[in-house]
Amino acid sequence: MNRERFLEWFWLIIKYSFVTGVLALLLRGFLLIPIPVQGSSMEDTMAQGDMAIMERLSSVKRFDVVVFNLPDGSTYVKRVIGLPGESVSYENDQLYIDGKKMEEPFLEENLHEDDESVPYTYDFDFEELMGVEKLGKDSYFVIGDNRRFSKDSRSFGAISEDEILGTIRFVYYPLPHMKFI
C-alpha cells in the first residue's frame, strides 16, 4: 500500500512539474521576455548590463520605454516621445508636442544635476529634422533618456509600429537596480 501511494504522489509531482514548465516557457517566450540593456543611452533609467522584462501585449503610450529592431538588424531600447500624427520639438530643454509644452518627470533628476551651460536635449524643429510636419500613421519618435549620448530618432528617424518588439516594464538585475519602469 505504501508503494502505491508513493507512485501516485510521484506521478502527480511529475504532471504538475510538466505543466508548470510548459507555462513558464510560454510566459518567457511570448509574454514576459528578458532583455539585456546595452549602451548608456538610457542612463539613469537603466544602465549597461541591466536585465529587464519586456512584455508584448500593451499598446504603446507616450513615455513608454520600448525595445525595437531597425532594418539593419540592430536592437535598441528608447523612450517613446512622439506618437502617430504628432509633431515633436525641443527648445531650451523643453519638450513640445504639437506646440504644447509637455513635462518629462523622468528627466527631472538629470536636468538639475548636469552642467546647465550645455543643454540636456539640444534644440530641434521637427519639420527641419524629419522633413515632414507630423509623424506618419504607425510611426513613433523615440529618444534615449541620456539625451547627449543617445543614437535615436534624431539620427535614424521615426520607427514604425512593426519594428517595436515590446515595452520594458521591470528591471530585475542587478538587484540594486531593481525597479518598475
pLDDT in tens, 119-163: 778 888 888 888 888 999 999 999 999 888 889 999 999 999 999
Q: Is 41 a catalytic residue?
A: yes
Domain co-membership, 7 together with 84: no
Domain that holds residue 5: 1-36
Grid coordinates of 38: 546595452
Distance from C-alpha of 157 to C-alpha of 68, rounded to nearest angstrom: 13
Tell me what the mean pLDDT of segment 3-26 comes to: 82
The number of folded domains in the chain is 2
Instruction: Please say whether the beta carbons of 79 and 68 come within 8 A.
Output: no
Do 1 and 78 reside in the same domain of the chain?
A: no
Beta strands in the chain (DSSP E): 32-36, 51-55, 65-69, 75-82, 88-91, 94-97, 100-102, 139-143, 159-160, 164-173, 179-180
Q: Does the active-site annotation cover 78? A: yes
**What is the pLDDT averaged over residues 59-83?**
93
Asked if residue 114 has pLDDT above 60, the reply is no
Q: Out of 15, 17, 40, 41, which one is annotated catalytic?
A: 41
| Co-location of 45 and 76 in the same domain | yes
Average the pLDDT over 33-41 and give the result. Answer: 87
pLDDT the model gives residue 56: 86
Q: How many CB atoms lie within 10 A of CB 59?
A: 7
Active-site hit among 78, 87, 139, 153: 78
Are 89 and 174 contained in the same domain?
A: yes
The CATH code of the domain that includes 128 is 2.10.109.10
Burial class (CB in 10 A: 0-12, 13-18, 19+), 155: exposed
pLDDT at residue 111 tops 60: no
